[in-house]
Structure 1
Amino acid sequence: MHARKNKEGGNQMKDNELLFDRKSHVLYSKPCKKEIRAKIALHYPEAEREAIWEQVQRQYAVFLSDWRNGVGGTYDCIAIMSYYVVCKAVTSFREIEEMEENLILPIFRRLKFVDCNKPFWRKLMYKAFVRSKSGCDKWHDYEMAVAPYETDKPIYYEFTACPAAEFAIKHGLTDIMPALCNVDFASMELLHARLVRTTTCVDGCRCDYTICGNKDPYLKEHPEYRDEKGYRRNK
């Protein structure tokens, strides 16, 4: 394995030198790498940062060594979990939650003109979820079902299989899953919408998504709270 010198004088491992099956798996995204390295810089002196980052890289490769195929954002979740395992002594639940928000929310902030209270946007959102389901059906990673659209009623869909949840259960990392799942609530809030969720794939048989406008009376019947594990959920 070759490595290049970094500015601290040590060796820095390149991403393309990481040993994992690249026919079955992909590398974490560049934004995710940037996010992890930024957090490492917050917690460790400069002379130690490259060594810590390399530990995260190697943990990522180890995690993929016995993991089945998957696509999309699951790999960034695995990278964040790798950071969590290596840097558990210095990181926190809120920091992991923040990292996921920094990766997911920018695209939703660019869609702030969307208003789920208006029928036009609600129907458009529904069509987007149906497209997502067709992707899941094609890739066979997330198992997704979308309820038929009903005017003036919340949108409903659910996942009955989630690779990120399966991974967390397999590796004993379910304690950090709420920090990765809670971003679903934050993303909807940027679209003048609200997510109502009662269960997830980690602690139940499905992850449910009931989505309505932030002015919908439905919300009064389902107040939000944080459970003892840190999940945002609804009654």
Structure 2
Amino acid sequence: AAFMDNPFIRKVMSSIDFNRETDMKKFAERMHKAEEWAEAHPEYQDKTWDFHFDEKRHKDGFYYHFTRCPLEKFAREHGYLNLLPLCCDIDHIAVERNKGVLHREQTLATGGAICDYWFVGNQTKNPS
């Protein structure tokens, strides 16, 4: 977690509190902008994620998934699949640093068909 303790990373990562509705919306907007960028730059299609948003899947928080991950592609092509789950674990650490919980059912790294992300604030009781 030394990487996450880097002053620059701490500053960037601490700008969101997943318990605040405005911050959750800001985060969702960032992710939608990433999708818009990817769609506007098809030449990078194989080098970025393909976002699939579903605002109705859960009552609480924010959800999306993707079926293409450049990290997974690189790891598969170069024999680093055993290290890939560590990269995915960083997602949980980053969300925890922002007062959130990341719920996940599967990742491409562990053989799933998708990488799913459901973010809720860490004060959310019985998220649904």
For residues 73-107 of structure 1, what are the alpha-carbon distances to aligned partners after superposition, in whole Å with 9 as ceiling and x for unaligned?
A: xxxxxxxxxxxxxxxxxxxxxxxxx5xx6179755
In structure 2, the CA distance between the partners of 1:178 and 1:150, relative to structure 1 (3 Å rule), is closer
Higher relative contact order (CA 8 A, sep 6+): 2
Aligned residue number for residue 23 of structure 2: 121
Structure 2: unaligned runs, 5 residues or longer: none
How high is the TM-score relative to the length of structure 2?
0.78
Q: Is the CA contact 1:105–1:186 (under 8 Å) kept in the aligned structure 2?
A: no
User: What is the aligned counterpart of 1:164 among 55, 71, 80?
Assistant: 71
Aligned residue number for residue 109 of structure 1: 10
Identity %: 23
Q: Any residues of structure 2 matched to 1:54-203 within 5 Å, and which? A: 98=1, 102=3, 109-110=10-11, 111-137=13-39, 138=41, 139-140=44-45, 141-148=48-55, 153-202=60-109, 203=111
For residues 10-46 of structure 1, what are the alpha-carbon distances to aligned partners after superposition, in whole Å with 9 as ceiling and x for unaligned?
A: xxxxxxxxxxxxxxxxxxxxxxxxxxxxxxxxxxxxx
Q: Is the CA contact 1:117–1:214 (under 8 Å) kept in the aligned structure 2?
A: yes
Aligned residue number for residue 114 of structure 2: 206
Q: Is the CA contact 1:108–1:190 (under 8 Å) kept in the aligned structure 2?
A: no
In structure 2, the CA distance between the partners of 1:132 and 1:173, relative to structure 1 (3 Å rule), is same
Q: Distance in 1 between matches of 2:96 and 2:8?
A: 13
Q: Which structure has the greater CA radius of gyration?
A: 1
Q: Distance in 1 between matches of 2:125 and 2:88?
A: 25
How many angstroms does 1:114 deviate by?
A: 2.6
Q: Is the CA contact 1:105–1:187 (under 8 Å) kept in the aligned structure 2?
A: no
Q: Is the CA contact 1:104–1:183 (under 8 Å) kept in the aligned structure 2?
A: no
How high is the TM-score relative to the length of structure 1?
0.45
Amino acid at match of 2:71: A
Runs of 4+ with >6 A deviation: none
